[in-house]
Amino acid sequence: MHKVVLDMDPGIDDALALILALKSSEVQVLGITTVAGNAPVEVTSANARRVLEYLNVESIPVAMGAANPLNHPLEDALSYHGPDGLGNCGLAMPLTPVHAAKAWDFLARLVLDAPHEVTLVATGPLTNVACAFERYPELPGLLAGLVLMGGAYGLTPYGKGNRTPFAEFNIWQDPEAAHTVVKSGMDILAVGLDVTMDPAACLNSQHLEQIKTKQTQAAHVAARLVEFGIEHRGCCRMHDPLALAALLDASLLDFISAKVEVVTGNDWDRGATRILPPDSSRSVQVASAVDGPRFVRLFLSCILEE
């Protein structure tokens, strides 16, 4: 059983990752920290709670984090995720309040109380994680691991940017935060566009029909989210669920051990993630291939379980 904190910016695919985590018997979600990214942080915080309340797990705390990237203004992705950030899925607005603590303090408390037991799965810009590492320098050494969705590493034909031709959205949004996190030296699994854009790892209309046959709350909300993706782009990209799946079953992916550089600043290559020649500094495990059909099966079997 993995004790997990989800740091996210829901976001259609973040919400699908959250549902996957909640339905997986191998994961215990200790809490959610929310960050600005796909939408302003008030919206991502509301969206996390909308999903939790719909699935009757509102006891899971949601701690709000950074409203802006460290050095740049927020440029959200509501044009991609729909005006409410969740593809107009129709979930009610939340009744439960956010947790009293800020995201980084909330995360630190959980990790300090259970050293080496908590894994962080980060599927948004890395602002909260960088803030946590700066305020609590012991944190990287006390986490059980960090799995992140971010980057485009040129390891497959799909490993090109999506926010710019050179950069993936999460890393582009806050490259300074990503730089801090990568430099922290902790064990990192990075799941980037090289694998999440593999067409075999996307959901199509046949998968949607399968989800629609189930009359559970989880299947109902998943269907609404997936349908929005298919209607607007022909298939539903599964960036963030694939990052979570790396924790559930790492054998779904191949990884290479690489030294990664994040391009900071605001030049044409902002947010690019480059693989450098090896040196003495710590490597990141970067996903280089995915068994898409097996991932989709794992996702559907979890989501469709009663």
CA distance 143 to 145: 5
123 binds Ca ion (CB under 5 A): yes
240 binds ligand BDR (CB under 6 A): yes
Q: Given the DSSP bridges, would you call strands 145-149 and 27-34 parallel, antiparallel or unpaired? A: unpaired
Which residues are catalytic, by number?
239
For the residues of the chain, what is the DSSP string, one character each?
Answer: -EEEEEEE---HHHHHHHHHHHH-TTEEEEEEEE-SSSS-HHHHHHHHHHHHHHTT-TTS-EEE--SS-SSS-----HHHH-TTSSTT--PPPP-SPPPSS-HHHHHHHHHHHSTTTEEEEE-S-SHHHHHHHHH-TTHHHHSSEEEEE----SSSTT-S-SSSSS--HHHHH-HHHHHHHHHT---EEEE-HHHHT-GGGSB-HHHHHHHHT--SHHHHHHHHHHHHHHHHHSSB--HHHHHHHHHH-GGGEEEEEEEEEE--SSSTTTT-EEEEPP-SSPPEEEEEEE-HHHHHHHHHHHHH--
The smaller minimum CB distance to Ca ion, of residues 124 and 241, is found at 124
Q: Which does 174 bind (CB under 5 to 8 A by kind): Ca ion, ligand BDR, none?
A: none
174 binds Ca ion (CB under 5 A): no
CA distance 185 to 283: 8
14 binds ligand BDR (CB under 6 A): yes
State the number of binding residues for Ca ion (CB under 5 A): 6
11 binds Ca ion (CB under 5 A): yes
14 binds Ca ion (CB under 5 A): yes
229 binds Ca ion (CB under 5 A): no
| Interface region with Ca ion, contact rule CB under 5 A, candidates 80-88, 117-125, 139-147, 227-235 | 117-125
170 binds ligand BDR (CB under 6 A): yes
| Interface region with ligand BDR, contact rule CB under 6 A, candidates 6-14, 24-32, 92-100, 219-227 | 6-14
Question: Which member of 133, 169, 228, 255 binds ligand BDR (CB under 6 A)?
Answer: 169
| Interface region with ligand BDR, contact rule CB under 6 A, candidates 10-18, 134-142, 198-206, 261-269 | 10-18
Residue, CB closest to ligand BDR: 169
125 binds Ca ion (CB under 5 A): no
Whose tokens are 């379980």? That residue is: 305
The smaller minimum CB distance to Ca ion, of residues 14 and 227, is found at 14
Q: Please, what is the minimum distance in Å from the beta carbon of residue 118 to ligand BDR?
A: 21
Q: Please, what is the minimum distance in Å from the beta carbon of residue 76 to ligand BDR?
A: 9
Q: Which does 169 bind (CB under 5 to 8 A by kind): ligand BDR, Ca ion, none?
A: ligand BDR
Q: Where does this chain bind ligand BDR (CB under 6 A)?
A: 11, 13-14, 38, 77, 123, 149, 162, 168-170, 239-240
